[in-house]
Structure 1
């Protein structure tokens, strides 16, 4: 975290969890955002479910946004973002978030039955995105070229029901917090809540937790467990004061000593077992660019048009890129393979994507492999640069080597992955990801496969997964850009047995991994 100086804070193992509705903001953010966009439609949508005490807010908001797009196609993602940014709040609550993170080095997370898009829009607008390490809420993505905001339940259909009788089907905060605390042992946990839905977490947390609850929560007929210390608040100033007093009084030595302890159950359950297989596509999935194109965009962008023209005649990427590397070597002899690889190694990667890979391996013992229509040289350099080499079990891709030319200089050579052309109706002849995935599973049995992809080349392996597996398909961007995997799934739904979960960011993958892998333990 940018504002934290390593070694100056001894409270880094204190976790402060904030609810969002009626806590970080003064209202129910779902209802408030909906009414700001179309009050009549919001009232109609919410009134249909008003009698349900455990209303599925993800389903309700998804229905609202679908209808909103039909009735008001002029409403853009920026209009929705602006509505979230204008949510009413108490400045002292926001100051409390900055206090616990910037001044005392605690970890801050948000757990909410709101939407990820709404919460993150609010945080970014108020300069709190860096202070909040994780937002756990109902996931969101855009469809129809960025015109429709879709909301999916945090506990989606790809997960077993959470089984909590007190919480709505789409989100149990107690289950979420159990997952968070199994990933890391915190010396102290503080939970700041404002509604009846914040009662459940207090019943499932370990000893030595402090709940800072709004007065309405304290009036519940249930009672908090004896192990829970309860403080009450009415206004934002109360929260700020309670947190300031806690951190001034809490013994830093106790935190420092406790921080060396770690939870072991999850890491031991999967240690060395390889029960879960995580497969990443590389280009525009694990990294946020096409690595082969990236090289030419950096050093010879004029060749991009040539690339497209040649690919139209020969739809085998390694052959096309091999030809272009010959042109690059001839036209720009000063560009050595070392210079090219050094630049491609720094290819952009989305925030938290690296964390997602590390978490899958370190905390859940998963095997992580890459299946890519890129090339081995660029992938190897990028993995090394981003510190991922120890976490990747295997890379299956087109082979790349260095070749000495007649003039004594070296150039990059690319060869197809398969020695013999593949005859797959979904894949190019040089690389069939589906057959590669089948080969992996034939060598070793896995209980579950998580596949992260974006393009049409990822459909073939997705179609070979089972009902026990999950496909993470990159969703449309707000600027209208769409990706081939989701489109092909939509066109061929009967061929997909696995659960399909949309994603846009590395944070999405991190949250989904944490959720799915925890549910499978």
Structure 2
């Protein structure tokens, strides 16, 4: 049986937040204060929608955005890790569950030639409208009280694993690699024998420490892709 690798995207695969990185397109690389302060807890997608509308009003178009987005740095060691996974797809299935959007992730993965590593990407759908403005929608509807309303990563992971099982693909273990607060919910889905890999010094590591009673999996902290790579190589030797 294969191992399922589940990646967050921002501050995990890339070493920044793609949604805030796009602000570099704005005049003087800043948002108006009234827009910057308009975020409401749990409504990140709506907030980004307002930012994309503003960028469109400033004449920022697809080519401008793409040029900025493909310059976002990958986390150290991450491209090497992804190439290793790509070379060992008979041992690993690999998915992304992210609160970014389809266009940003596709641009960034394609530019580094690692998009073929991932079997599926679960993130907020984005398109350019007929005026050339980027629009983004919530990924799904869910009833999880702890997650932002546009995305419960645990629900996505549960449904993916169930669909794979119905198609005859059962996993020997799940490895979840992330950094943020919204990665705790899917980590609680992991079972004994699975591995939660929070990034060192980031919110997920702190939340796991504070709510350790919710966690059944083992925990392995990482700071670079090289550490994850070493862990995966050990798994292949088991």
TM-score by length of 1: 0.43
Deviation at 1:404, TM superposition (A): 1.8
Q: Which residue of 1 aligns with 2:73?
A: 348
| 1:81-96 equivalences in 2 (<5 Å) | none
Q: Which residue of 2 aligns with 1:456?
A: 181
Does residue 1:499 correspond to 2:225, yes or no? no
Structure 2 contact 38–47 (Cα < 8 Å) conserved: yes
Deviation at 1:424, TM superposition (A): 1.1
| 1:127-138 equivalences in 2 (<5 Å) | none
Does residue 1:403 correspond to 2:129, yes or no? yes
Q: Aligned residue pairs: how many?
A: 231
Q: Which residue of 2 aligns with 1:166?
A: none
SS in 2 for 1:303: coil
Structure 1 contact 402–413 (Cα < 8 Å) conserved: yes
| 1:18-417 equivalences in 2 (<5 Å) | 275-300=2-27, 301-303=29-31, 306=34, 308-311=36-39, 313-330=40-57, 332-333=58-59, 335-363=60-88, 365=90, 366-405=92-131, 410-417=132-139
Q: Which residue of 2 aligns with 1:146?
A: none
Q: Which runs of 5+ in 1 are unaligned?
A: 1-272, 477-482
SS in 1 for 2:122: strand
Does residue 1:429 correspond to 2:157, yes or no? no
Larger radius of gyration: 1
SS in 1 for 2:147: coil
Deviation at 1:374, TM superposition (A): 0.4
Deviation at 1:497, TM superposition (A): 0.7
Compared CA separation, residues 362 and 299, structure 1 to 2 (3 A): same
Q: CA RMSD in A?
A: 1.7
* Residues 352-381 of structure 1: per-residue CA shift (max 9 Å, x gap): 212212222323621110000000000000
Q: Which residue of 1 aligns with 2:198?
A: 473
Q: Which runs of 5+ in 2 are unaligned?
A: 165-169
Compared CA separation, residues 345 and 505, structure 1 to 2 (3 A): same
Deviation at 1:339, TM superposition (A): 1.7
Structure 2 contact 11–75 (Cα < 8 Å) conserved: no
- RCO higher in 1 or 2 (8 Å CA, sep ≥ 6)? 2
Structure 2 contact 25–64 (Cα < 8 Å) conserved: no
Deviation at 1:514, TM superposition (A): 1.8
SS in 1 for 2:37: helix
* Residues 447-492 of structure 1: per-residue CA shift (max 9 Å, x gap): 111111000010000010011111110112xxxxxx2111111111
